[in-house]
Amino acid sequence: MRTHTRGAPTVFFLTLLCPTLTQALIEPDPSGGISFMGGNYNGHPMLYFNKEDVEHLQSVAASTHRDIARRIREAGETMMEHHQEYLPPWSPAEFSARWNEVYGNNLGVLSMFCLLYPHRAGALDFAKEYMERMAAQPSWLVRDAPWDEVPVAHSLVGFATAYDFLYEYLNKDQQERFLQVIGNVSRLMYDKSYVRGWGFQYLHNHQPTNCVALLTGSLVYMIQGYLQESYLWTKQVLSIMEKSMILLRDVTDGSLYEGVAYGTYTTRSLFQYMFLVQRHLSIGHFNHPWLLKHFAFMYRTILPGFRRTVAIADSNYNWFYGPESQLVFLDRYVLRNGSGNWLAEQIHQNRVVDGPGQAGRGQRWCTLHTEFIWYDPDLIPKPPSDFGTPKLHFFEDWGVVTYGSALPVDTNSSFMSFKSGKLGGRAIFNMVHKNKYKEWIQGWKNFNAGHEHPDQNSFTFAPNGVPFITEALYGPKYTLLNNVVLFGPTHSGSCFKPWAGQVTEACDSKWLKYKMGLAADAQGTVEAAMERQGMVFIRGEGRSAYNPDMKIRNFQRNLLLLHPQLLLLVDHIHLDPDSPVSAMSAFFHNTELPFHDTKADGVNGAFVSHGKDQYKMFWMDETGYSNRGMAGFWNYPRGYPYNGSNYMNVTMPLRYPNTRAAYIFFGPGVDVQSFSLSGNDQRVDIYLSTKDHSYTVYLLTSEVTNKSLFSMVLMDQKKIVFEKGAAMMDSPPNEVEEYVNVMEDNLQHVKPVFQQMERHILNRVLNTASFRKTAERLLQFSDKKKTGEVIEKMFAMSRKQGNVKAGKKLNLVENLPDIFAQIEVTERKQRQRTPKIGYEDIPEEMDADSQAFIDYSEGHINRKGGLVRGRQYKEVNMVATAGSEGLALTGSYIRLFLLLNTGTFFMLLAILLSRFHGGRNIHTQRWFYFLLLMDCLILLYLFSSCSHTQC
């Protein structure tokens, strides 16, 4: 018996441990494997790597990283060869004459080029001149956009990064002057963070862009000993960005509502933020649920051929920044499976070098240095397991469906997308309308949906990977510039009377309407998205995107991909009895290829030519009516990056109560021979025959029906059913628990790092001639009346420490006052006194409530007391400690008097009860009552003072 049971305890404990070990292996490391510096720096560089790492970086540039290094070298050589084109101008008027982010964007890769190839003749001199020219500018703002700090942020992050990388190569004068520039610009950004939208409009691309610039400048300023200011700047960045990180948890699909192009603008800086706060502050976000899903947003939105992406919202043809840098970041710190490296490799290999889709001049190099830093060559490029097979993907927060993404270019490698979602995405829309995160969110003023389009129920189609029906890219926010429908006639306010588009369209602004009125509630819904036996069915409802005065009960759009090159689209319009509208006008776009009219068997249509191939479309309603369409080109006004878009406009009459219009789109591999449809109140039947197949489609459009299906397709003798049981179910996430405390816990990471920096700085200059100067720098923004006293104390302690015997060193810093607390208190009071003045300077943002964004306290002050119990810290005191020796002594004296008076009170009370009980000597008894009353008043005063000074 003993023989068989001897190992039982071991087996038992192994059984208990295995699930734990397995879970530990599966769950991503919140630190991403990035080492925490802990305030222990050895000079520059320090932002992304240490001085000791430079030699290793130079080594891998010739081996594992040689491809990225080659691109960095090509960028540097190109800038040096065409120096007149790439060097910033000396003239301030010329520098500020146009959008100038290119100068900051190129400086990061230029400094990396110099670091990897320090012996390249002229490279360092070129970089120094580049920085001298930028430092000579009185302002980095654009003259015609003085309210926009985004170009300043690009300049600051590039300049501060170059300062960090090249510090050892700068002379003493350059080190001091360039640091002064970084300090001045960071101070500007810090001040503007309280009055500009990027300080409180969350999940918008401006916010991480500007915040990372301020954080980068702050970290560089910190290591130079300016701890108090950089402490405030860092706390402000975290108070903004940590809120965004919490709100981003509600975005369950990994998407960004501004679309793929602007999404890369956001992640370019967001990923830098995640890296920097982990490295320097030990705040880990690498197990963030949004981050775990973000690869799908990159992978499932790419058209076949890896050159273009879904262009929903303001967009170019693909990505504004990167995305190779973002993809290698995801692979190294999140995925760890080679998929990110593989996709980055595919995108780079298929890059458009010249023509539509090529990278912008100001953005093409700006992420090369982070791509080099983050690339992990140990992760062998490996495609996702389903690569090569077209897949359906639904972004439930974004309201977007894609099919056939990231395929090689080939016949029948087709792509389709559909958009019908809530304004700003489900997460933001619910925060606004369901009063979520009410401590931070006060309606649409905390978000910016200006880059979205009036595009609910829009779609695209690229048979064989050829863009046939496309988005109209970055243009005016008109409904007719999206692949959707207008209704008419209408007498309500609209941009193109008598036609009315979606309520969010803007007639006289470059940005979408979203803040108030009907626009604030606009939304569409994806009701179904499913794939069955190689066919795809998608249904969306868009009535809530239109003015309710039009009395449209349903605007239902159905898409059926019957064959990789054959798409059927059916619009079902159900009108109320008193609806004023009598016609619909549908638009279809192609940004490159013009539409031409065509006709077959009395059915009107159009086509575009791509090489020798023609891609065609035809349309009719259920009565057989097929009106001739109108082809044209819509010119964009000046100020947009594109000239305009080719379109085909199809107008059809509406009947009460139902109207169905059907459109077919097909590529050269499909020969449609007949097309007809008929319908009744509950369904519409479409008949299609091609050279190879015949299709009968039964589409149920009625809301009330006893059928448990959306549609049924008969292809020859084959039946495909799209059942209602697979309809989309909306399950939005709950509000993050204790979200205020979660943010406050992360803010607590800042002070220990800065205190450790203080120790290093003082210990480094201990007993040296520069000690007093260093102390003055540390206390630069403390109370001027007390600064002299504190410096004298520090200096005296320094000399005392120098005189003690070895092995008995005094702890200098432990005996010093908290140099950060007083500046926090002072700054908080200053911000509370002056927010109104700041907003008067910016009339367009007067509606913002700046009081909601003052975050100087160590934590969130609750109404019941001065303590908040958080997740990571058992107890966090909410009142800042005194910031000088004088305040500390005051607290000690108050504490002493409080103890003495408490003792006196109880002594008098005991005498009164024991000696004068029974009413004897009433006169003396009254005097004791008077003394007790006075002592009570003194105790109240002392308690109040003690609470104020945190004694």
Residues with catalytic function:
206, 262, 474
- Radius of gyration of the chain measured on its C-alpha atoms: 33
Phi (first) and psi of residue 603, to 5 degrees = -100, 125
Phi then psi dihedrals of residue 169, to 5 deg: -95, -5
- Cβ contacts of residue 449 below 8 Å, gap of 6+? 257, 423, 424, 428, 512, 514
3-state secondary structure of 719: strand
Rounded Cα–Cα distance for residues 711 and 696 (Å): 11
Burial pattern 189-217, b for ≥16 Cβ within 10 A else e, equals bbebbbbbbbbbbbbbbbbbbbbbbbbbb
Q: Which has the closest alpha carbon to 539: 720, 711, 390?
A: 711
In contact, 908 and 852? CB cutoff 8 Å: no
What angle, rounded to 10 degrees, do the helices at 123-135 and 172-192 form?
Answer: 50
Closest CA to 419 of 440, 403, 404: 403
Q: Pull the structure tokens for residue 326.
A: 């973002």
Give me the torsion for CA of 330, 333, 336, 339, rounded to 10°: 10
Q: Which residue has the tokens 């950004």?
A: 189
DSSP for residue 769: T
CA neighbours within 13 Å on the CB side: how many for 658? Answer: 18
How many CA atoms does the CB half-sphere of 923 hold within 13 Å? Answer: 0
User: Angle between the 123-135 and 66-81 helix axes, to the nearest 10 degrees?
Assistant: 60
Closest by CA to 872, choosing from 36, 437, 24, 283, is 283
CA dihedral for 831, 834, 838, 839, sign (positive or negative)? positive
What is the phi-psi region of residue 388: left when phi exceeds 0, alpha when psi lies from -120 to 50, beta otherwise? left
Helix (H) or strand (E) holding 659: strand 658-666
DSSP 198: G
